Amino acid sequence: MVAEKNLAVSLCGLTMKNPVVPASGTFGFGIELADAMDLNTLGGISLKGTTREPRYGNPTPRIAECTAGMINSVGLQNPGIEALVADKAPALRSIYGGVIIANISGYSVEEYAFNCARADGCPAIDLLEVNVSCPNVHGGGMAFGTDPKSAAAVTAAVKAVTRKPVFIKLSPNVTDIVTIARACEDAGADGITLVNTFLGMRIDIRKRKPVIANTMGGFSGPAIFPVALRMVYQVAQACSIPVMGCGGVRRAEDVVEMMMAGATAVQVGAENLRNPMACPEIIAALPALMDSLGIDSLQEIIGII
């Protein structure tokens, strides 16, 4: 018989019953899964990425299968910020008591600030996760998160209009993740989420053209776990703000690895698309794993290496 274990963690003053969070874009707005599982087993839920205006996303096909992963180019399809704050987040809050994370995207600093101000004013939302992997339409199309100054500019603008904790979700498609994370911390970020997807592509050799209509897309899944883990470790060592780890997590052992590397909470992404019950299964497996490792509380292993 497994002794009772403490799975709870504290994230920027928010108590989570466990560190497991479905990642943005892999769990809808949470309410879609309410009939399939008890959402209240989850430590938190990161909602579908939201822009100022509704978006229909990229042309199809948007998905390509890969060895140990997948490529997606959905293109931030979403109903827009007003639908998030007026409908989606309140509907989830009515049935869910855990931490609700709004994932915010934008194509200019002004759009990020507007969206975050609206999300900050929604009582149903606990934490803002700002996705800086979007192309800067005023800066030649380069993603905000690939340049320290651009990432810091978004962070500062968002922090000026919000009171809730702000996590910046960084792209791994850079040569120096630590410099960008530090720039965000210096600009006032309360935490860092990493990593987002890697850039990848597949080719249909019979049709002699890319599988994805948009040619390239975000590569995720178990294949990226070791690289994501390395980046979590590097940023946790370099920064004093908390980290949410993400990238290739599919089992309880991966959660423990991420936490030992320095993550306070751990997001599960592509695995939800393969197995919609992945998160509750991981949570259920944690106590026995902790028992086998001599761990009584997950909080005590954060950054232990």
How many C-beta neighbours within 10 Å does residue 215 have? 12
Q: Alpha helix (H) ranges present in 166-277?
A: 177-186, 225-238, 252-261, 270-274
- Give me the phi and psi of 209, to 5 degrees please: -155, 160
* Residues 143, 162: Cα–Cα separation, whole Å: 23
The verdict on whether 134 is a catalytic residue reads: yes
Work out the end-to-end distance of the chain between its first and last CA atoms, rounded to an integer number of angstroms.
29
Catalytic residue among 66, 116, 122, 134: 134
DSSP state of 86: I
* Residues 265, 305: Cα–Cα separation, whole Å: 16
Cβ pair 60, 80 in contact under 8 A: no
Cβ pair 215, 61 in contact under 8 A: no
- Give me the phi and psi of 81, to 5 degrees please: -65, -35
Pairing of strands 166-169, 191-194: parallel
- Which strands, in side-by-side order, build the sheet including 217-220? 63-66, 69-72, 217-220, 198-200
Residue spans of beta strands (DSSP E) within 149-233: 166-169, 191-194, 198-200, 203-204, 209-210, 217-220
Structure-block tokens of residue 244: 């949410």
- Active-site positions read 134
